[in-house]
């Protein structure tokens, strides 16, 4: 079997387009050029500081006009045809390209110091430098990561590792975040199986809170969590290199975390063996999440990675899959306590969720071809 191959191209407006061919691909190496005539890319958005929290909010008004749930024959992530001049000019296995209307970027020419970002003031603005990329998992119109073949899943993981390394090297990028939104209940605007990668000009609020916890607990927080959860009844999957578990203090009705057994700060630092095992374990996990009910489960699959320039010896790569689905026909909405105060109330015990997921994973394993 040949290895996964990366092929670099450009779209008509200069954006990067990268094809990742499966190890067992049937595609020819050549790709058609992008023959469209495109308007210039929008200017880099502006972010504004909230003086109550110090957090930065990117105001990306160009995103208001993005495509919303198009029919299959107008899918912007499908391979281009005469009737559908999409974002991807030719057939593909996995394709990654710069978002046409990004929340951050396309400017990455400068970087911000911690002093730039932490100072509190009124009416403070900065350019939303960074990069946003779309990762297309398949040329098919519908599906998700869980519907991929093992070979294709491995290709996506290779793309995440490649892009993490490349984006981390850009001068304006402070943190790289691969993720998948799945389901209209989450707010998905395209049914096409895809994820995204955001490259932020700052360390995100969630990671900043994590850094505070590490400073209070100690640098071995992640290994301690793995040891604690690994000995609990909340483990749902365990391999040679990875363990998945429902966390002790889960917020969401469905919430699963996955950690590598050795310390790696991001995808770029994972080994071939870790990526190989992850392809199968991750498919098993997501198929189990879908097997909980008779219809597909909406979720956010978030790959938390260490910042580019700090705490890389202490923050470990971690998957967090969360879903608001609390019953077959019920969703958890973030109302007063959660949305306004950030004070969460759980609807289901983590131990119950873990038991249900283990059963669903077993069911999915017997029914998946």
pLDDT tens sequence across 283-316: 999 999 999 999 999 999 999 999 999 999 999 9
Query: Helix or strand or coil: residue 20?
Result: strand
Same domain, yes or no, for 192 and 255? no
SS3 63: helix
- The helix/strand/coil state of 156 is helix
Q: CB of 264 within 8 A of CB of 316?
A: yes
Residue 366 binned pLDDT confidence (cut-offs 50, 70, 90):
low
What are the pLDDT digits (tens) for 191-247?
Answer: 999 999 999 999 999 999 999 999 999 999 999 999 999 999 999 999 999 999 999
Is residue 122 pLDDT above 50, yes or no?
Answer: yes
Q: Judge if 180 and 219 occupy the same domain.
A: no
Can you tell me the distance from the alpha carbon of 36 to that of 76, in angstroms, rounded to the nearest whole number?
Answer: 13
In terms of domains, do 268 and 150 share one?
A: no
pLDDT for the residue numbered 369: 43
Pairing verdict, β 325-327 and 318-323: unpaired
- Integer Cα distance of 234 and 245 in angstroms: 5
Q: Label residue 188 by pLDDT band (50, 70, 90).
A: confident
My answer on whether 238 and 175 are in the same domain is: no
Give the end of a domain, one of 180, 202, 224: 202
Q: Could you tell me where the beta strands, DSSP code E, fall in 64-183?
A: 94-98, 125-127, 131-136, 175-182
pLDDT confidence of residue 255: 98
Are 215 and 338 members of one domain? yes
Looking up residue 52, the CATH number of its domain turns out to be 3.30.428.10
Q: Is the pLDDT of residue 2 over 90?
A: no
- Tally of residues, the chain: 369
Asked whether residue 16 falls in the same domain as residue 46, the answer is yes
The residue out of 178, 202, 226 marking a domain boundary is: 202
Task: Evaluate if residue 337 carries a pLDDT over 70.
Answer: yes
Tokens standing for residue 101: 């209307």
Confidence (pLDDT) at 362: 95
Are residues 120 and 267 part of one domain?
no
The radius of gyration of the chain from alpha carbons, rounded to an integer in Å, stands at 20
CB count, 10 Å around CB of 71? Answer: 9
Q: Partners of 97 in the beta sheet?
A: 17, 134
Domain final position from 133, 168, 202: 202
Q: Are residues 121 and 255 in the same domain?
A: no
Per residue in 159-185, pLDDT (tens digit) is 999 999 999 999 999 999 999 999 989
Average pLDDT, stretch 330-345?
A: 92
pLDDT over 50 at 6, yes or no? yes
∠252-258-262 over CA atoms, to 5°?
Answer: 150
pLDDT of residue 1: 43
Residues 265 and 281 grouped into a single domain: yes
Say if residue 110 is in the same domain as residue 124.
yes
In this predicted structure, what is the pLDDT of residue 8?
98
Contacts of residue 232, Cβ cutoff 8 Å, sequence gap at least 6: 245, 248
| Residues 29-72 pLDDT 10s | 999 999 999 999 999 999 999 999 999 999 988 776 677 788 88
* Percentage of the residues of the chain whose pLDDT score is greater than 70: 98
Q: Is the pLDDT of residue 149 over 50?
A: yes
Mean pLDDT rounded to a whole number for the chain: 95
Two structure tokens written together for 318: 């971690």
pTM of the model: 0.96
Strand bridging mode 131-136 / 194-200? antiparallel
Of the candidates 114, 117, 110, 197, the residue with the CA atom closest to the CA atom of residue 162: 197
Whether 361 and 270 map to the same domain: the answer is yes
The domain total for the chain is 2
Residues 6 or more apart whose Cβ sits within 8 Å of residue 72: 78, 141, 142
| Alpha-carbon distances, residue 356 vs 178, 232, 319, 359 (angstroms) | 27, 15, 19, 5
The reported pLDDT for the residue numbered 64 is 67
> What share of the chain in percent tops pLDDT 90?
90
Same domain, 134 and 237: no
User: E strands, 13-143, where?
Assistant: 16-21, 46-49, 56-59, 94-98, 125-127, 131-136
Q: Which domain holds residue 337?
A: 207-367
Residues with a known catalytic role = 194
Check pLDDT > 90 for residue 250.
yes
């Amino acid at each position: 079997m040949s290895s996964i191959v990366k092929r670099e191209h450009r779209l008509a407006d200069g954006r990067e387009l990268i094809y990742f061919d499966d190890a067992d691909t049937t595609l020819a190496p050549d790709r058609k050029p992008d023959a469209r005539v495109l308007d210039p890319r929008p200017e880099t958005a502006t972010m504004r500081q909230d003086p109550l929290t110090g957090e930065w909010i990117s105001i990306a008004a160009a995103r208001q006009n993005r495509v919303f749930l198009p029919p299959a024959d107008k899918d912007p992530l499908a391979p281009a045809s005469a009737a559908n001049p999409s974002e991807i000019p030719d057939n593909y296995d996995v394709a990654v390209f710069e978002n046409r209307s990004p929340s951050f970027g396309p400017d990455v020419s400068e970087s911000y110091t911690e002093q730039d970002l932490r100072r509190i003031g009124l009416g403070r603005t900065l350019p939303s430098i960074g990069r946003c990329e779309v990762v297309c998992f398949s040329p098919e119109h519908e599906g998700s990561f869980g519907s991929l073949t093992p070979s294709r899943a491995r290709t996506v993981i290779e793309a995440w590792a490649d892009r993490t390394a490349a984006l981390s090297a850009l001068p304006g990028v402070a943190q790289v975040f691969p993720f998948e939104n799945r389901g209209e209940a989450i707010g998905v605007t395209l049914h096409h199986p895809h994820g995204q990668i955001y490259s932020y000009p700052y360390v995100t609020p969630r990671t900043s809170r994590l850094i505070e916890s590490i400073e209070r607990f100690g640098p071995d927080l992640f290994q301690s969590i793995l040891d604690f959860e690994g000995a609990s009844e909340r483990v749902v999957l365990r391999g040679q290199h990875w363990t998945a578990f429902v966390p002790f203090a889960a917020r969401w009705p469905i919430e699963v975390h996955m950690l590598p057994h050795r310390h790696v700060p991001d995808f770029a630092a994972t080994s071939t063996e870790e990526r190989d095992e992850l392809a199968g374990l991750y498919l098993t996990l997501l198929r189990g999440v879908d097997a909980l009910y008779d219809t597909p489960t909406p979720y956010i699959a978030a790959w938390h990675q260490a910042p580019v320039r700090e705490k890389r010896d202490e923050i470990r790569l971690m998957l967090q899959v969360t879903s608001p689905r609390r019953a077959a026909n019920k969703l958890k909405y973030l109302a007063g306590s959660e949305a306004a105060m950030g004070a969460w109330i759980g609807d289901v015990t983590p131990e119950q969720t873990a038991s249900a997921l283990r059963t669903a994973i077993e069911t999915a394993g017997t029914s998946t071809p």
